Amino acid sequence: MKYSLLFPKTLKKAPSGAESINQQLLVRAGFIHQEMAGVYTYLPLGWRVLDKISDIVREEMDKIGGQEMLMPVLHPKANWAKTGRLKSFDVLYKLEDVVLGPSHEEIIYPLLSEYVKSYKDLPLCLYQIQMKFRNEPRAKAGLLRGREFLMKDLYSFHVSDEDRDAYYEKVRAVYIKIFKKIGLDVLKTKAGGGTFSDLSEEFQVMTPSGEDTIFVCEKCSSVINKELVQDKKCLECGGGLQEKRAIEVGNIFPLKRSYAEVFNLYFTDKNGEKKIVSAGCYGLGISRCMGAIVEVFHDGQGIIWPESVAPFQIHLVGLDLEDKKVMDEAEKIYKLLQVEDPERSRRTEGIEVLYDDRSDVSAGVKFADADLIGIPFRVVVSKKTQDKLEVKKRSEKETKFVSLKELIKMIELSD
């Protein structure tokens, strides 16, 4: 992608009102644009990041037998009346005859009750990645608490609670793997289950800017959400608890039996007996992860994307482009990088490169923009670089002069 064509350009200042780090940097760097409180447009750069995160999530969901599909945003109001959540789910957006989906039990249970009849139809693991709608009384902190947000929700259905619990363990392990892949260290946290279940487990990213309060046991280091804390004592070992701030990026629930009862989700087992289906639901906030990553990975100049989720791998900066030789060299490198390694294909054949081809701005502007946008590798081509490339990792200070081959090797190794 040529920077001169990229929509939109960076901003020197964040709009007033953008106070959280993730909002300031994502808005200034041109990843998102706020439309209302808690509602954002994902601009080309931001959408690429969401797409990267989604792809990682998909890959792992598929590995544990998940099948991706897409359920509707508009839900029949009657279904929500049936479960009682038309009233109890207090952040539900209600329209005249429909509600906007904040979660999809009210869709997937009736759906499955039409198809699942036998133990042979189970287990079944279905997921989607979709915008969710929740009328938060106070949307805040950029992408961390929106009223419209991108989420992956997986639902699993089983012949027994034991089978469900075994799968639940699997999902828990995969979640930790996913968060690690996208650069986030998470803590598993015990929490309440709201309208879904009695208890649940959350995945929390510890950071001072987090908007959740969690408690970490000084003795056994288990972690508990504040809603479960009484007397500031650990539930596991009775040890003292330390209060910390964190961002909840995932939440998994063994679902209440009542959903299956309400929507008549039963099956016939081997012995011809009618049995109730056991289920779990597993949420992961894709857009919130994007915000959390920025909260964790940034410095005074801008964002520092982990390589796995960066919108591009290389930010190629062309300087002295009025010099035809330099310009030709930069263009050549730009093209070579993109076709050099077809194994890395995603949107383009080869490495994803953002090429700053502008000839009407100073070097300083280009460097400042590169730092702000936060692509992992900055590669400069200029009069100085001759037949080498000047490479600097966004996360490091030193620059190195390397050949094109060495650069490609660097990128492959760091993957």
Partner RNA sequence: CGGGGACUAGUUCAUCGGUAGAACGCCCGCUUUGGGAGCGGGAAGCACAGGGUUCAAUUCCCUGGUCCCCGACCA
Indicate the burial class of 410 (C-beta count within 10 angstroms; 0-12, 13-18, 19 or more). Answer: middle
Asked whether 135 and 92 are in contact (CB, 8 A), the reply is yes
Closest CA to 253 of 147, 119, 156, 128: 156
Buried b (16+ CB within 10 A) or exposed e, 111-127: bbbeebeebeebbbbbb
Closer residue to RNA, CB minimum distance, 117 or 384: 384
Closer residue to RNA, CB minimum distance, 345 or 403: 403
* Backbone CA torsion sign across 162, 165, 167, 169: negative
Rounded CA-CA distance 144/38 in Å is 9
HSE at residue 160, side-chain half, CA atoms within 13 A, is 5
Contact positions with RNA (CB under 7 A) in 79-138? 89-91, 103, 136-138
Closer residue to RNA, CB minimum distance, 399 or 403: 399
Does 13 interact with RNA (rule: CB under 7 A)? yes
**Secondary structure class of 268 (helix, strand, coil):** strand
Indicate the burial class of 232 (C-beta count within 10 angstroms; 0-12, 13-18, 19 or more). Answer: exposed
The minimum distance between CB 380 and RNA, in angstroms, equals: 5
The minimum distance between CB 262 and RNA, in angstroms, equals: 16
Q: Using CB under 7 A, count the residues that bind RNA.
A: 72
Does 195 interact with RNA (rule: CB under 7 A)? yes
The minimum distance between CB 144 and RNA, in angstroms, equals: 9
The minimum distance between CB 145 and RNA, in angstroms, equals: 6
Closer residue to RNA, CB minimum distance, 154 or 411: 154
Closer residue to RNA, CB minimum distance, 119 or 201: 201
Closer residue to RNA, CB minimum distance, 28 or 164: 28
The minimum distance between CB 240 and RNA, in angstroms, equals: 21
The minimum distance between CB 394 and RNA, in angstroms, equals: 10
Contact positions with RNA (CB under 7 A) in 47-86? none
Q: Are strands 274-276 and 266-268 parallel, antiparallel or unpaired?
A: antiparallel
Asked whether 137 and 79 are in contact (CB, 8 A), the reply is no
Contact positions with RNA (CB under 7 A) in 159-188? none
Does 329 interact with RNA (rule: CB under 7 A)? no
Q: Where are the strands (E) in 46-170, listed by range?
A: 67-68, 74-76, 93-94, 98-100, 124-133, 148-158
Does 189 interact with RNA (rule: CB under 7 A)? no
Does 156 interact with RNA (rule: CB under 7 A)? no
* Binding test (CB under 7 A) with RNA, winner from 114, 162, 169, 227: 227
Contact positions with RNA (CB under 7 A) in 360-379? 360-365, 367-372
Does 215 interact with RNA (rule: CB under 7 A)? no
Choose the binding region for RNA from 5-13, 68-76, 167-175, 406-414 (rule: CB under 7 A): 5-13
- Start-to-end Cα distance in the chain: 21
Rounded CA-CA distance 36/97 in Å is 24
The minimum distance between CB 268 and RNA, in angstroms, equals: 30
Rounded CA-CA distance 227/335 in Å is 54
Contact positions with RNA (CB under 7 A) in 255-294? 281, 283, 285
Contact positions with RNA (CB under 7 A) in 20-49? 20, 28, 34, 36-38
Does 319 interact with RNA (rule: CB under 7 A)? yes
**Secondary structure class of 398 (helix, strand, coil):** coil
Rounded CA-CA distance 375/44 in Å is 14
Asked whether 321 and 327 are in contact (CB, 8 A), the reply is yes
Contact positions with RNA (CB under 7 A) in 378-407? 380, 382-385, 390, 392, 399
Closer residue to RNA, CB minimum distance, 159 or 380: 380
